[in-house]
Chains A and B, each alone.
Chain A
Amino acid sequence: MNIYVLLKQTFDTEERIVIQDGEVSDDGVKYVINPYDEYAVEEALRQKEQHGGNITVLSIGPERTAEALRTALAMGADDAVLITDERIPSDEFSVSKVLAAYLEKQSYDLILGGNFSVDSGGGQVAVRVARLLGIPHTSSITKLEINGTQAAAQRDAEGDTESLIVTLPAVFTAQQGLNEPRYPSLPGIMKAKKKPFQTLTLDDVGISEADLAARTKRVSLTLPPARKAGQILKGDLPQQAAELVQLLRTEAKLI
């Protein structure tokens, strides 16, 4: 089974956001594999353990993204492809076009990605790629069992669980609860250094810049107003409870 994992490198979720010159500052920021994509990598490994095959981790991003791909290789993926080219706009339309243009020329049975990225959070790219490739997708899965060319998946839909049967090739995006991602082992880290790692440009992928013009653009960036600590209520607990409900009625006027 040929498995591709779409992977994005993001800020660690513990990072605070600082805006500098109208951009999010990356000064001293710790980068990780987007947490949802990490579930996708783990799922690829588990599927390969059961069914055999090859796992390629695929990403678009600046050169630092190689680090995230190396981590996925250390977890056990077989090879990595990084498409890095400043001509690729950071618009979901453009990014999905490049990924689809690359994947179109590959042979794939299963494509896995995260439900959304914890930075831009658009939740578009994997679904767009499925559409561009003309294959089905199921988003937000919490379970995946593959039997031949049939996949039984469970999908989280706002707390409801939908069970589906999907014919491969197909795209699935990972929701929390799908699995518990493993840590790279020391031998894994050593092996990762020798695994195939391709770095491609738009020219290698064979898509022209003109086909990728961004459909949306950012015009400004702001931080939300900081919240201030309010009041800690006093007195015994029954008094505090009564006072709180009273304050919600009179001060906040929400009850």
Chain B
Amino acid sequence: MSHTYVVVAEVRAGALRQVTLEALQAVSLIKEVGDTVAAVILGSQITQLAGELAGYVNDGKVYAVDHPDLENYNAEVYFRTLTSVLDPLQPHAVVFGHTAAGRDLAPMIAAHLGAGQISDVTAIENSGADTLFTRPIYAGKAFEQKQFADGPQVITIRPNNIPAAEQTGSPAEIVDREYTPAADLRSVIKDVVRKTSGKVDLTEAKFVVSGGRGVKSADGFKPLEELADVLGGAVGASRGACDAGYCDYAMQIGQTGKVVTPEIYIACGISGAIQHLAGMSQSRVIIAINKDPEAPIFKVADYGIVGDLFEVIPLLTQEFRKVLV
């Protein structure tokens, strides 16, 4: 029997998110010959993005719901709109990015479909007739491989781990779906403060510059931000820095907080407690800058500089600028 796989696309700051393309690639790893692929895109003024998305969905359909109500994510509105598209398709699997919106929507859809959900998938492997999904547990201190029993499937894909789908020669057909406003909403978004506008998302960043207690103050993060800007990366923090009030908890990397897997992770003034290591030790290259040569962070770092971060970071920024700008 042929199955329908649906990727729920995500728009951020007027662009398709990279993880949407990674989710499409995930589907191409799972699906069998004869299965159907569709993507759903919800948002406001998304005609162009729907067209762009269609270029990555081979021979399938892109369902677009375009309405001002969909400009900001609202769990209730998105859930109703998404199910109105999904239900007639009777999807075998629905795939999301493991992002703020994806993490929130996926379990709603899973409950709605009576489906199993495998969250935060970092790799997919086909073993005979089985598809095995690798995901971190204990924030990456260990990894489990899971598989689905019978029934519908919901999957969320961790950004930066599965390669992105490439453009296809046979783009999907775009199907516009009508938006039906709900009269009896029980949750209303009043306001969204975009603290991150123009910045690279921490979990999707290729380069992460992260500060610990050694950064000493909120102002101490400034040189880290400059370095991140030069690299086109994002700034993170250890629990110590967040607890000390130097930065927002949204920046925390660790077993509590976010798990990141960038190409380069630069740990500045971070000692390397096990709870922090869980959140970043899967980074490709780790660089540690710390005054204390005995800091545990050096035991996991590929490259270490023993020195004052306030001296080292401006020097590094200067060197990177030479080769990058």
Contact = CB atoms under 8 A, between A and B. Distances in A.
B143 A245 contact: no
A215 B113 CA distance: 12
A157 interface: yes
Contacts of B148: 215-216
A125 B106 CA distance: 11
B315 A92 contact: no
A121 to B, nearest CB: 6
A244 B287 contact: yes
Contacts of B115: 93, 215
A124 interface: yes
A53 interface: no
B300 A221 contact: no
B215 to A, nearest CB: 18
Given A215-B149, A232-B293, A238-B315, A159 B202 contact: yes
Contact of B187 (A132, A166, A255): A166
Contacts of A132: 111
Q: Which of B140, B141, B203 has the most CB of A within 10 A?
A: B141
A19 B142 contact: yes
Interface size for chain B: under 10, 10 to 19, 20 to 34, or 35 or more residues?
35 or more
Nearest to B293: A232
A176 B194 contact: no
Contacts of B287: 244
Interface stretch (A1-9, A62-70, A75-83, A136-144): A136-144
B75 interface: yes
Given A217-B146, A233-B303, A158 B100 contact: yes
A90 to B, nearest CB: 11
Interface string A227-247: 101111100011011101101
A213 interface: yes
Interface stretch (A10-18, A42-50, A186-194): A10-18
Contacts of B136: 121
A207 interface: no
Contacts of A17: 138, 141-142
B89 to A, nearest CB: 19
Contacts of B203: 158
B97 to A, nearest CB: 11
A138 B286 CA distance: 35
A165 B187 contact: yes
A242 B319 contact: yes
B11 interface: no
Nearest to B136: A121
Given A215-B149, A244-B287, A229 B142 contact: no
A140 B286 CA distance: 29
A59 interface: no
Max count, chain A CB within 10 A of own CB: residue among B115, B138, B203: B138
A160 B149 CA distance: 36
Interface in A26-40: 35-36
A152 B190 CA distance: 9
A26 to B, nearest CB: 12
B99 A158 contact: yes
B256 A36 contact: yes
Contact of A158 (B193, B201, B273, B301): B201
B188 A241 contact: no
A167 B186 contact: yes
A200 interface: no
Contact of A164 (B139, B187, B252, B263): B187
Given A118-B138, A118-B256, A224 B143 contact: yes
9 contacts: A121-B120, A123-B107, A138-B187, A159-B251, A213-B149, A219-B145, A224-B143, A238-B315, A241-B312
Given A160-B194, A240-B307, 19 more contacts: A13-B278, A36-B256, A92-B110, A127-B107, A132-B111, A156-B250, A159-B195, A160-B195, A161-B193, A162-B72, A164-B74, A170-B187, A176-B257, A177-B248, A213-B149, A227-B300, A244-B319, A245-B319, A255-B324
| Cβ-closest 3 pairs across A and B | A215-B116, A131-B111, A241-B315
Interface of B: 72-76, 99-101, 103-104, 106-108, 110-112, 114-120, 130, 132, 136-149, 151, 186-196, 199, 201-203, 242, 248-252, 254-257, 263-264, 273-275, 278, 281-282, 284-287, 293, 298-307, 311-312, 315-316, 318-320, 322-324
